[in-house]
Every structure is written in C-alpha cells, then in structure tokens.
Structure 1
Amino acid sequence: MIEADDLIALVRAYNPRTDAAMIRDAFAYAQAAHEGQTRRSGEAYFTHPVAVACLLTEQRLDDATIITALLHDTIEDTRSTYAEVTDRFGAEIAEMVDGVTKLTNLELTSSETKQAENFRKLFMAMSKDMRVILVKLTDRLHNMRTIKHMKPEKQAQKAHETMEIYAPLAGRMGMQWMREELEDLAFAVLNPEARNSILRRFVSLRHETGDVIVRITHDIEAELEKAGTEAQVIGRAKRPFSIWRKMEEKEIGFSRLSDIYGFRIILATEADCYRALGAIHQRWRSVPGRFKDYISQPKSNGYRSIHTTVSGRDGKRVEVQIRTREMHEVAERGVAAHWSYRDGVRAENRFAVDPAEWLRQMTDRFEEASDHAEFMEAVKLEMYTDQVFCFTPKGDVIKLPKGATPIDFAYAIHTRIGHKTVAARVDGMRVPLWTRLRNGQSIEVVTAEGQTPQATWIDIATTGRAKSAIRRALKAERRVGHVRLGRELARAAFAQVGKRATEKALEKAAQLHQLDGEEDLLAAIGASEVSARLVVDALYPELAMARPTPDVAAGSAIVGLDAGATYDRAPCCQPVPGERIVGVTNRGRGVTVHAINCPRMVEFEDQTDRWVDLHWNPGHHAARNAVTLEMTISNNPGVLGRICTLIAEQNANISDLRFVDRKPDFFRLFIDVEVRDAEHLHSVIVAADTDSDVAQVSRHRATADRRPQTAEAQA
C-alpha cells in the first residue's frame, strides 16, 4: 500500500497547488477509522480506499474528490459520523461521502418498483454532485479487479450488477475505457470459459502472424509522415468481451471476425484529423458503411472522433479512430474531464460536457414516465444505447439511439408530428414505419389529419420520448371510450334501483369517491376502477341494504322474450349483461340478441318488425358469456402464461385461444374469455393491460357473423 506522501505526489503531478495537509489528514483519519478491518483477501481494508483514490488521480480530479475516495467507507463501515466528517473536512466533502454511502446501499437489481425508486435516488445523487458517481464507479472498478477473493455467488451478483448498471452508466458518461474494463471483468466472472477461449485465440493468432499491431502502427505512422502530419498512433487488440459481443450479435465465429484490432490517431487540430483521414483512405480501401464523423456530429456525452474501418495488411480489417488531444481526453475521461486539473488550475477543455447540462438532458426523458415500468424503460433507453444521426429534408440533424425507427424520428421533431405520422420516406424511398434507421440517412415524415397513434407503435418505437407520447395518447383515447362505457354502466346500475343517473347525482358520487368530477367518475367506472353498483350503493345506502342480489338462472338472463322463445347471443358483438341490447327474430330459429350499437343492426333498419325490445335480468349472472379479446403481446418467454394467469385471477375462464399474426417481436392473438357482465369484462381487460409486455388489448367485435357454418350451408 502506498503512503500519504506517495498519494500527494500523484496529485501534485497535475495539481501543484494541492492542499497536501488536507489529503494527509484525510489519509490518517481514514486509516485510523479502518484500523483492524480486513478485506476477504486478508489485506488491510484501508488498501481499498487508497487504491480508489489513486485511480481517481489518473483522471486528474480535484482534492475534494480524492479526499472523498479516502473517506468513502468511513460513515458506512466505521464509527465515523456525518457530523464528525463535516467538522473535520467541511460540508462539501461530507455531502459527497454521504452520497457515496447512500449509493452503496441502493439495491439497483431489486424488484422493478424498488429498482425504479432507487434509480431515481441514483440520479438525484448525481444531480447534487456528479463527482459522487465518479467515486462510486471507481470504487466498483477496484472491487471488480479484486473480486476473486469473494464467494462465487457474491461474485456472480456483483458481476451481473456491473454488467447491467455500472458499465453502461460509465459508457453513458463518456468513460469508455472504464466501461470496457468493467464489462470485461464482469465477463471473466460470468463466462470465464468463453473469455479464456478468446484469449487463447489471440495467442494462437500472434504465433501465426507475429505482432500485427506493431506492423500496422508503423504502416500508419509512415503514411502520416508522408502527408506531413505529426501524430501519435496507438494500437491495441479489442477486449475479449467486445469481441464476444460482436460474435454473438453477428452469429459468427472468431475466425470470421474482421476488425479485432483498433488504432487511434491523436493529432493537434481538427484540420489535421481530416488530413489524416484523407491519407488513410488514400493508402487503404475504406469499408462501406463503416464511417462515422463524431467531430461534426458529437455524441451527447461530448464524445468526438472520426471512425473509419479500412482493409489493412493481408486484407485484415482494422478500425481507426482519429481525434485531437482535447477530444482524446474527453473520450478517455468523459464527464470527469470537466473537473480535470492541469498545473494547479481547472483544465479548460472546450469539448468537455457540463455535467449539469448532461444530467438535465438525461433526466428530461425520465420525468415524462408515469409509472415504474416506463421510468426503467427510459433509463435503459437513455443509458444503454449508441446513437445514429439522421437528417430532416431541410438538413437539420436529429440524434436518435441505435435501432431507432421513423416513428422515433417523427416524435423527436415534435409530438404533434409523431401523432399524425402515416408513412415515411428514407432517402426518397417509402419504407415501413418499423425500418431501422442508419447514420446519415435523410428522413421525410408523411402526416395526415385525423391520424392517431396506434397501439402497435409502442413495439416499433425505441426512444423513451416516443413511447411515453404514444402511451399518453392511447390513454387519452381509451379515456373517451371509458367515459362512454361508464355512462352506460352507470345508467344501467341506477335503473336497477329505479333511479336516473343525473348530472347532479354523478357529481355527488364523484365527491364521495374523491374524484374531480362527473367525467372522472364515468372514466373510472368504464375502466373497472370503480363499480357502478357501488356508486349507487354509496348514494342510496338504504336501497342497497334492502336490495337482494339473486343469482340469475341460465334460462332467464334476458327479460322481454315471449314464453318459450329461445335466444342466442350474436357472435358479431357478443353482448353481455350491463349493455343495452335488442333482439332480432329469426324465422324458425328464435331470437338473436345484439348490442344496441352493433354494426350489423344497420342490416335490419328496414325490418323493424323483427326487432324485440329486450334488457338483461338484474341480478348476479354466472360467468358463462363468451367474449373475444384481441391482444398484441411481446414475443418473449413466459408472457402468454403470465397473461393467462392475470385473466384467471379475475375469475374468468379462457375457453379458446387463436394466434392470428406472428412477428419476430410480437404476437397478435384472439382469446375467448367467459365473463359475468360488462364490469367483469372490463376488469379482465384492465388486468391484462397492466402487464408491460401487453402492447394492446381490446374487445374484438367482428363486422360479420362469425358463427361456424354447418356442413349443409357449406355445401
């Protein structure tokens, strides 16, 4: 373990004005606080905070951050208190130490609800002081480097958490080197055989071809020297996890991978970058579709560089990144570059992203989320994706995550344009709305008045902004339907006790249920959040106590039929108790019962003599009325089983299930369920709609009679 003077020397190398006395005091204080504590390796525990502090000096961070690293476990693991740290080192450092302690205690891989809440706390801590997360990430990096001393199950848990949360977060903050190392360290725990296999292939490759990196580096240096461009060239083999991920994505073996080597060319100016690009492309053939200019179009985390892939020696593909020294510092340290020191003063790097602005951009998307699932979706979409740059017909640049579609593009321009989208043209050619966009494409969105968002768009969209806007629009549209249905359910419920659902009665009922007004009450009734029967009972408790609720016999469900007349429910509209109904007589075949708003009733407009005025028998109906639900669900393991369980929990039986459309990402299917009445039906729909993997669920009503034909009719 290094001593206090060694740590101070590391800080003084980039910050001669460092407060050496304060760092020495923090070193002694933390060392005393951790006295007698050991790590699982047997080392003194204090070696860990010292190692974290040393790693932060490599990022040239300020004294407060270095001291926080030394103290970051004192409040959590020793007798030190927040007040004591404040008195000795000041409020700024105490706040940072407390922030790191709280982040350490967050369970970021817990249940969805708790995970969402803890992620909110994570971003809240980051918004107070971004340096807190820099200390936490560096703390996780050192823990992963020394993870072999932990129990296997603890190693796996930490590795999963690192791969799913901390590595993507480091990448989103622009600290690509840390992301790659965290991923590779986690990969070594989660899949050691695969990682060792790749390392063996590298050894074998070097034995067969020699040191390719040295040879290609010399080739690039020679070409740049010919062009009169002074540069530093750095070559390296890609990390095992990066190679493994590419093998998995492309479903190819190691021998078929082309660009397993990467090279960085670091120059003085932007003009030099483009001169170097010209020299590289003159000497080697560029690979089509593998060029990205992040200098003219920087990433939102401040990253700037030119990326190109060329066919180098022996036809081997190599990736080349070209950037200036300032760009390289941001690429290496990301958001941390904002606090970097050089010669005792804060280093001014014009490319470093202001952490406050970066965090504001990131959290803007999260604030739109209305529930835990949406929030976690927004987090993952914002943190875990790369970007593509597309153009409007006017030449404006729109930044989108990798895998974005024209739907995302439309909503990125304006929510109103997204809502009205009917088609899209990419580079002048009409394409489906689910087309994945690529860098540099020009997108024209075709809109139409009267168009509204479709439920299937949620599967197509990839950005949190688009998904949230679509969900809000669909929710508003559903509300209109819920209000309409709620009005009918309320009318029927009031009629059962001989009352009318007047505006005054509904306003009073809304007050009793602590809702804002009549419309909110009707929407709640239509969405099965409030029972119409309970609304009546709340207004007229004396009638509720006196009213029996007999079970309705199978043969007397409908009132208004002639004695001995038989009936069947129309398969086109499948009416259920609680809905207004009308009968149509069939010569020799009894009566067919339709919902009053059934589209097929238009066919009988000129045959009113066949109409029969009917209504449902008030009372408790058995759950034997089959209704067809149309549902779009994600094509993921376990989704269908979960949906069936949700329906069963509502005491509704599934009598049939038919897939009508199978896509790689989703299934569309019809599910026949047996329900008691309209309220029961809508409780089933609401229960299914709450599942995050259900993109759309609605009652299916056919426009034609779906009754199976008999053999005689078919003949």
Structure 2
Amino acid sequence: MNLIPADPTLSAKPARAKRPAKAPAAAVSGPDAGDSNTAVLAPPASAPTAAPAPPVISSSPLATPPALTAGVASVTHLTEKLAEYMNAADLKKVKEAYRFSDEMHLGQLRKSGEPYISHPIAVAEICADWKLDAQAIMAALLHDVMEDQDVKKDELIERFGAPVANLVDGLSKLEKIEFQSQIEAQAENFRKMLLAMASDVRVILIKLADRLHNMRTMDVMKPSAKARISKETMEVYVPIAHRLGLNNIYRELQDLSFAHLFPVRYRVLGKAVKAARGNRREVVKKILDAVKNTLSMANIEAEVYGREKTLFGIYKKMRSKHLSFSQVLDVYGFRVVVDSLPNCYVALGTLHALYKPMPGKFKDYIAIRKLNGYQSLHTTLIGPYGTPVEFQIRTQEMHRTAESGVAAHWLYKNGEANMSDLQQRTHAWLQSLLDIQQQTGDSAEFLEHVKVDLFPDSVYVFTPKSKIIALPRGATPIDFAYAIHTNIGDHTVSVTINHEPASLRTELRNGDIVEIVTDADSRPSPTWLNFVRTGKARSAIRHHLRTINLPESITLGQQLLAQALTSLGVSPLLEEHLIERLLKESSAKSLDDLYADIGIGKRMAALVARHIFGLRGGESASAPIDHNSAAEMDPVTICGSEGVSVQLAPCCLPIPGDSIIGQLRRDQGLLVHTADCPQAKRQKAKEPDRWIPVKWSTELNRRFDSRIKLLINNEKGILARVAAEIGESDANITYVGMDEDKEHVLHQLRFTVQVKDRVHLAALLRNVRRVAGVNRILRERN
C-alpha cells in the first residue's frame, strides 16, 4: 500500500534528455496566444475529443462524473470558473502556472491515452469549485512537476513564489530517499503530507482533489491496482475528508472505493436501489407534501428535500446490522433547512406533532457539534405505512458547513457564515499532529497514532468548569488528561467521574464530568498503553518511556544483545569498524540508540545478533531466524526492581519461585509472565520470535503483588478475621473486593496481597484457610 502514490493512471513516461524551453507541439488558439485557454497536444490519430472534467460537487451522491478520454486538454472551463471570483492579476499567475505545467508534462500520457496535463487541470477545477485562492490553484496545476519531472523547489520559488512552492513540496513524494522498507517509505510520505497540512490546510484539500480525480478515472487500471488504491483511500483519505467536514468528497470517495473494491456488490445494490426508487416514489412524495404543508401552517420558512443514502451507506448498514436490502427501510432521508436557529427547534416540535418519533433516535448536534464542525438536529419518525424516516434539521449556515466543512472558509468567506469556531477546531487538530510528530520515534508510529485519531465516532465529556472535550469512543480518563495538556497527562494519579472516584481504565460516556487529580512526582505507566485510545496520549506515553527511562532500556538492550550473540557463538565485544557498519546499515544514530531500541522491543535482539554475525563473515545476515533459538539463549535475570523497562504481567502476576518467560513488546520493554499463563501461550503462538527465557535473581529486595480468592460464609466479623490473619502472616493488603451470591449465603472475597515469594504465599494460604468461616482459598489468575 502506497500512502501517497503518484497518479495511479500514469503510464511509463519517455525520458527527457533536456527540458524544452517551451511547448512547441502545442497549438494555441484565442485572441491572445500568450494567454491561451486551450493547449492542444498532438493526439493519436484515432483519439476522440474530450469533454472538460466535471466539478466535484454533484447533486446526487451516486453520480460518478465521466473520465476524460481524449488527447485534448482544455483549460477553458477552469478559467471560466476562476473568472467568477478571481481578479485579472491572479488569473494571469494561474495561466502562467498552467503553461509551465503543460511544458513540463509535454509528451507524457496517462494510461487512458489522454495527455497528462488533463489531470492537473481536473484537480485545479475541483479546487476552483471550493473557490480556493490563486496560490492553491497554481499548486494544483503544478502538484506533480517536482515528483515526476525533477523540477527543483528553488525553481518553483523563483517562478511562482515560496507559498506555492511549499504547497507543491508538501504534495510531493520522497522517492529519492532510501528507506529500510516499503512500509517505512509509505509512512514517511504520509507523515510529510500531514505535517505540511498542519502548516497549511490547502495541502490536504489539493491532495483530496487529486485523489478524487484519480478515483474517478481508474477504469483503465488492473483490478489489483484498483483494489490497493481503493483500500488506501477508504482507510486514510475518506477519514481525513470526514474529519475536515468535506461531506461531498467523503461520500463520493466512499462510493468510488466501494465500486472498485466490490464491483459486483456495487452493481447489484445499485440495481436494487434503482428498482426501489419507483416503489417508494409515492411514499417520498406523500411525506414531502405533508412536511411542507405542516411547516407552512406553522409559519416556518424552510427548504425541504429528500436525499438518498449512498450505496456504501446502505451496504455498511446491511453488513453491520445483518440486514437484507428489503430490511433497510431508511434508504431515503429528508433535510429541512430553516432560516434561523430557534426555528430548528420549532420545526422539530412541528415534525414530532406530525409523525411519532422513535424513542432513542433523537440527537442534538447543534448544542454539541461534531468534531468536524457539523451541526444539525437528527430525529427518526414513523412515517406513512410504518416506515422509519430520518430528518435532519439545520440552518443555511449549518448546511454550508455540513456540505463543505473547512472548505466553506473559501466558499462563503464573503457570506454570512461564521467559520471561526470550525477553523479553531481544525487548527487544534492540526496542531495535535505537530505534537504527535515531536514525540514520535518514527514515521510508522506517527501513522499509527494519526490513523487512530481519524475515526469520527466520538464521545463528549465535560471538565469541572463545563468545558466540552470531544474524544474517540472508548477513550479513558488518561486520554482526557492528555487532551487538556501533556503535563496533566504525565502527572495523572487518579480521577473522579461524575464526582465519584473511578479507575483510570474506565471508558468515558457522553455527558460524564471528569476531574483529574495530579501529583508532581507521578509519571506515566507503561500499562496505560494497554487502554489509551487517542494518538496524542499514546505518543506522549511512549515518548516518556523512551526518554525518562532511557538508561534502563539501554542496559536491558545491551544484556539481551550480548545473550543473543553468545547463543550464536559470537563474542559480545564489538569492534569499532563493525559498530560503524552496523549503525549505518541499521539506520541507528548511536550504539546506545540501538541498545535502547532492543530494550523497548522496537528491534529484535536475535535479528541484530544475526546481522552482526553476518558482518563478521558468518552466514548471511538475512538468513531465516530459528524461533526455537530463544530457548538456547542464557536467561535474562529478573530482580524485580529494574523499573518500567521490565514489567510483571498483570494477567498472571508472577512472583519469585514461579517458572517465568519474557515477552519483548514494541516500545514497552520486557513483560514477564508465568510459564503457564494462558494469555502468554496465546501470544507466543502468534509471535514466537518475541519471547526470551528469563529467571529470577537470587537476590530480591522487594515484595510482589499476588491475587487470592476466598469463598466464605456470610457471617459477622469474617472480613476482620481474614484481614488480621493476612497481617499476622507478614503480608500487606493493597486491594479488597467482594462478590455476593444471589442467595446471600456465601461471599467471594478477593485480595491483592504483597508477598516475598511463592513459599511466603503458600504459608499465607495455609494460615488463612484455618480461619473459621473460610470454606476455600486459592491463588487467582486472569
């Protein structure tokens, strides 16, 4: 998967020995050849004439504009659009950018046989539909000249200015840089684009226009290429379009991706929807007439129109709720656009008087808007013949934002729409990308964090001062703390939710009032990575583990590498020349960085050892690794006081005396399980190369947590007697819990106790078992 691919419909281009001074093969027409609106390249003899590329905003979400199919590339349509809102000086700059792009792409064809310049023109037209400024239109026309034609950024700065060059640079790939893997290259391309977007949102608007045109013109591609590009579009670009509120682009990209990924399902569902239109036309007309008459009688000025769900929206609902097409009743919905905010709620009441509302199907996105700025009232009513019908009620301003999102800043900048709030929300999200970048170790990790934040499903919670914080569904108080400020998250110790103490693992729900308690001496715990949801929180925690605990990670990594080398019969002492080659070939900045990467699980000690073995003249460093070789390594000694680089697994809570095994987790160091832990066995079957032998040190100077469970009689004083016996056994209690059975005869007591080792725990169990009223006691493991 290539996250920022070149135009996928591009065929192999002829090598250019020398860049031509101007386009001699282009015939120009018009009153002034210097400002021609049309460039005609020499087309194949049989090539037909092409229609100009259509605009992006379509009245029907199911309509897919036709692709260009000829050897003629016209800018007439583009300049007509630009002339509607652009002055003559800016229009002249755009034409200059067009001529330069036409010159650079001269002789270059797309796979469809059309001249390549038709693609930049189409992208610029889509941007013109948003009324983007001259710099953005110029960048759209030039967006491939750096990547495909080796044009340097300095040349673009000289010709068109630094802002345009920066936009083009943000859209260009990094093909000249060598990466360790294709995945890393893809992630780095994506990182570069998003960081350019963080400084100028026009970068992603142009990129989305580029992707939209490519998706519209993929018919000439092989099925495998269609599937790969469509999957990437669905995973990355569709969520970005939704996050920026570009709903028209969002819906069309979804449908185009669906059509290329599942062409048969797309065609079958399309036929079913077409057939259903005729059957449901009478119902739709009846609802429209009734709603218009009712609103008119209530003296509410409103535009009312029906809308059809996209094919992908119908397909997604069928899949998620296991429905057949005939069971999807709300294929049609209705939008009611009123003239003022109060009339939104008046219209809602009027509609509820007309048709009965479905319980639990009302959402107020006006009072609490979505992350992308979307505002509307949503309600589902029982229409004629018992059919559920969804209504969306909004003002004209809200409708503009709903359809065009952040692009409405350019579309309606002279109108009444106030986009300041949406701009602030977008800026805050883009700023969070820069925060994640500063705390992230590599491009792949950056991509992982950002993709988490792109999913739109959200919960809305409140600070004690009633400020609304939007978080992804499944977010925890730790995510909330980091959303407020990184320092708050780093020093979190506890939380109250709705004025009640709660666990840091608690999943937040809509309307929760969350208050974070901090301590200046507190630090992030590696276990937080198991339940945090947002990319910002995850990257901040990992950044802390990498930096604050760096000495521990280096020591552990050095120990793991030495043991891996010893198991291969290689001396762990590394010569100077070998270190230089190792660092160069592994892209590590220093030997300590390499050790730290091994210590936190980012690199595998066995693979690095095999690489060193190869550099010393042994077998190939790329030879397959024997997953059983870990059993031959000397065990890593566990003292229990290593710090966060070594953690005891919470699922089984190993204690000295238990047989143990270690799991190297990416960016989290070494996790120690008991050898018979069911969770460890499942994980080892999936990733056998991440497990190493470990053993307890003979010198232990701390106590270890262990869970015990008791079945007791429901009688007075039993808890006090058990707790006293645990204390007499020289153990400390850190947690007490109780489960009651339905008959109120027996209780289950759960304790977490701190013991020295397995012998100490066995003695404690014997002592507690003798307490009157205790029927059964055992060590508990998850």
TM-score by length of 2: 0.59
Q: Deviations over 1:365-403 (max 9, x none)?
A: 443434556423320122223322123455332211123
**Structure 1 position 175, deviation (Å):** 0.9
Alignment of 1:648-659 (within 5 A): 657-659=676-678
Within the candidate set 238, 245, 268, 1:174 is matched to 245
2:277: which partner in 1? 206
1:222: which partner in 2? 293
**Structure 1 position 4, deviation (Å):** 3.6
1:398: which partner in 2? 469
Contact 2:636 2:694 in 1 (8 A): no
Matched, 1:279 2:279: no
| Superposed CA RMSD | 5.1
> Structure 1 82/433 Cα, relative in aligned 2: closer, same or farther at 3 Å?
closer
Secondary structure of the equivalent of 2:378? strand
Provide the C-alpha distance between the structure 1 equivalents of 2:600 and 2:102, rounded to a whole number of angstroms. 61
2:410: which partner in 1? 339
Secondary structure of the equivalent of 2:460? strand
Aligned residue type for 2:466? G
Aligned residue type for 2:423? V
Within the candidate set 454, 463, 473, 2:534 is matched to 463
Q: Deviations over 1:427-455 (max 9, x none)?
A: 68998766654433445779999998765
Aligned residue type for 2:385? D
2:124: which partner in 1? 53
Provide the C-alpha distance between the structure 1 equivalents of 2:637 and 2:681, rounded to a whole number of angstroms. 34
Unaligned runs of 5+ in 2: 1-50, 53-73, 561-591, 602-633, 641-653, 699-754, 763-782
Q: Deviations over 1:665-696 (max 9, x none)?
A: x9999x996558979xxxxxxxxxxxxxxxxx
**Structure 1 position 216, deviation (Å):** 3.3
Secondary structure of the equivalent of 2:122? helix
**Structure 1 position 140, deviation (Å):** 0.8
Provide the C-alpha distance between the structure 1 equivalents of 2:338 and 2:490, rounded to a whole number of angstroms. 42
Q: Deviations over 1:135-170 (max 9, x none)?
A: 121011011001011122222221122112122122
1:628: which partner in 2? 660
**Structure 1 position 178, deviation (Å):** 0.8
**Structure 1 position 207, deviation (Å):** 3.8
> Structure 1 423/111 Cα, relative in aligned 2: closer, same or farther at 3 Å?
farther
Within the candidate set 430, 434, 449, 1:363 is matched to 434
Provide the C-alpha distance between the structure 2 equivalents of 1:332 and 1:457, rounded to a whole number of angstroms. 38
Secondary structure of the equivalent of 1:148? coil
Contact 2:124 2:141 in 1 (8 A): yes
Provide the C-alpha distance between the structure 2 equivalents of 1:381 and 1:483, rounded to a whole number of angstroms. 29
Secondary structure of the equivalent of 1:149? coil
Secondary structure of the equivalent of 1:290? strand
Unaligned runs of 5+ in 1: 490-519, 530-574, 582-597, 602-625, 635-642, 680-699, 708-715
> Structure 1 373/27 Cα, relative in aligned 2: closer, same or farther at 3 Å?
closer
Matched, 1:100 2:132: no
Provide the C-alpha distance between the structure 1 equivalents of 2:596 and 2:665, rounded to a whole number of angstroms. 25
> Structure 1 111/314 Cα, relative in aligned 2: closer, same or farther at 3 Å?
farther
Aligned residue type for 1:359? L
Q: Deviations over 1:285-327 (max 9, x none)?
A: 3334433333332334333333333333333333332222222
Contact 2:488 2:518 in 1 (8 A): no
Q: Deviations over 1:81-125 (max 9, x none)?
A: 655544544443333334333489999997554444333311232
> Structure 1 104/303 Cα, relative in aligned 2: closer, same or farther at 3 Å?
farther
Contact 2:170 2:203 in 1 (8 A): yes
Deviates more, 1:429-438 or 1:71-80: 429-438
> Structure 1 413/173 Cα, relative in aligned 2: closer, same or farther at 3 Å?
closer
Secondary structure of the equivalent of 2:758? coil
Provide the C-alpha distance between the structure 1 equivalents of 2:221 and 2:142, rounded to a whole number of angstroms. 23
Q: Deviations over 1:617-650 (max 9, x none)?
A: xxxxxxxxx941376999xxxxxxxx9xx99xxx
Aligned residue type for 1:168? P
1:298: which partner in 2? 369
Q: Deviations over 1:476-518 (max 9, x none)?
A: 99789889999x99xxxxxxxxxxxxxxxxxxxxxxxxxxxxx
Provide the C-alpha distance between the structure 2 equivalents of 1:186 and 1:399, rounded to a whole number of angstroms. 29
Q: Deviations over 1:46-74 (max 9, x none)?
A: 22222222222221222222232223233
Provide the C-alpha distance between the structure 1 equivalents of 2:413 and 2:534, rounded to a whole number of angstroms. 39
1:703: which partner in 2? 758
Provide the C-alpha distance between the structure 1 equivalents of 2:535 and 2:660, rounded to a whole number of angstroms. 32
Contact 1:576 1:677 in 2 (8 A): no
Provide the C-alpha distance between the structure 1 equivalents of 2:547 and 2:342, rounded to a whole number of angstroms. 52
Provide the C-alpha distance between the structure 1 equivalents of 2:536 and 2:270, rounded to a whole number of angstroms. 41
Deviates more, 1:24-33 or 1:173-182: 24-33
Provide the C-alpha distance between the structure 1 equivalents of 2:178 and 2:242, rounded to a whole number of angstroms. 21
Provide the C-alpha distance between the structure 2 equivalents of 1:318 and 1:110, rounded to a whole number of angstroms. 50
Within the candidate set 386, 397, 408, 2:479 is matched to 408
Contact 1:337 1:352 in 2 (8 A): no
Matched, 1:231 2:302: yes
Provide the C-alpha distance between the structure 1 equivalents of 2:106 and 2:599, rounded to a whole number of angstroms. 61
Deviates more, 1:279-288 or 1:185-194: 279-288
Aligned residue type for 1:70? L
2:259: which partner in 1? 188
2:135: which partner in 1? 64
Within the candidate set 398, 420, 423, 1:353 is matched to 423
Provide the C-alpha distance between the structure 2 equivalents of 1:105 and 1:236, rounded to a whole number of angstroms. 47
Matched, 1:159 2:218: no
Deviates more, 1:269-278 or 1:366-375: 366-375
Q: Deviations over 1:205-254 (max 9, x none)?
A: 33433354444333333332222221222322111222222333334433
Number of aligned residues: 552
TM-score by length of 1: 0.64
Contact 2:458 2:471 in 1 (8 A): yes
> Structure 1 405/356 Cα, relative in aligned 2: closer, same or farther at 3 Å?
closer
Secondary structure of the equivalent of 1:236? strand
Aligned residue type for 1:379? V
Provide the C-alpha distance between the structure 1 equivalents of 2:114 and 2:491, rounded to a whole number of angstroms. 60
